[in-house]
Amino acid sequence: MTEVRGSAGPNGTHARRAPGTPCWVSLMVHGLTTTEEFYGALFGWEFEPGPQQLGPCVRALLDGREVAGIGQLPPDRELPIAWTPYFASDDVDHTAETVRLCGGTVGVGPLDAAEAGRMAIGSDPSGAVFGIWQASAHPGTAVSGLHGTPVWDELVTYETGGVAKFYKTVFGYEEEPVVSADFDYVTLHVGGRPVAGIHGVGLSLPRDRGPHWLTYFEVADADSTVREVTALGGLVLRPARDSAHGRVATVSDPEGAVFSVIESPR
């Protein structure tokens, strides 16, 4: 992981993001109400209704500003429960077509999300799922750096080489690989600023998950957040530990959605 902060203005709001910049995260679950209760208690989120094109959904808010989205899966859909990052695009239709031409797939869209914007959900050639967002009225996450806000997105995959080329072609990233014989990591940059990472873990990748994007959320106290996760019915997958970028832990919510929390140095 590489530490990064969003491009927030003085009041925490964001301008329209440059293409390739992470701009939103969403989660599709079976129990919308119970999921709201979990994240509301953990992160202090409040909720309001969101666009209903894909079924019942809500937007999570901190101090009235949008942070993330949560939707309800249809009863007959057995899809993996996972946080999905969205990357900004000036033309979601063109980006989706580039995904297909580069060996990825597009499973949803492109389609309009009311007046909020236009979106698609795709996967890279290894199967990791991500979203594409062309903003209109809704530019994306509107606050950063507070407890409960997304701060980093990291692709956990077998190896970085081939898949990094895919994302570079689709989103125009600049790449900064870590020069190390035993650490396979590439940081993705937009306009010279780190925005996301790709971590190749080889055979250490969990067989039951496959390549996937992992979202990190900022927290005020990693240890107390981990205790709260278990108290609320979630699981601790990697206990809180010190890293070069802060104290970090990996957990899952009661439906199994995996995410990391990080207490950045103050």
pLDDT tens figures, 4-16: 433 333 334 445 7
Q: Is 259 helix (H, G, I), strand (E, B) or coil?
A: strand
Position 2 confidence tier, pLDDT thresholds 50, 70, 90: very low
What secondary structure letter does DSSP report for 14?
B
Q: What are phi and psi of 100, to 5 degrees?
A: -65, -45
**CA atoms of 21 and 157, how far apart (whole Å):** 20
Radius of gyration of the chain, Cα coordinates, nearest whole angstrom:
17
pLDDT band at 25 (very low <50, low <70, confident <90, very high): very high
Residue 20, pLDDT > 60, answer yes
pLDDT reported for residue 52 = 75
Q: Are 24 and 18 in contact, with CB atoms under 8 Å apart?
A: no
State pTM to two decimals: 0.92
Task: Give pLDDT, residue 206.
Answer: 83
Q: Is 152 helix (H, G, I), strand (E, B) or coil?
A: strand
> Dihedral of the CA atoms 86, 87, 92, 98 (nearest 10)?
-110
More confidently predicted of 5 and 74: 74
At residue 150, φ and ψ (nearest 5 deg) are -65, 140
The H or E element containing residue 165 is helix 160-171
CA 65, 33, 64 angle in degrees (round to 5)? 10
Mean pLDDT, to the nearest integer, of 217-225?
A: 98
What is the per-residue pLDDT for 223? Answer: 98
- Distance in angstroms (rounded) separating the CA atoms of residues 97 and 218: 33
Q: Can you give the pLDDT at residue 15? A: 58
What is the C-alpha to C-alpha distance for residues 218 and 88, in angstroms, rounded to an integer?
21
* Segment 122-143, tens digit of pLDDT: 999 999 999 999 988 888 899 9
Find out whether 22 and 193 touch, Cβ atoms under 8 Å. no
pLDDT at 11: 35
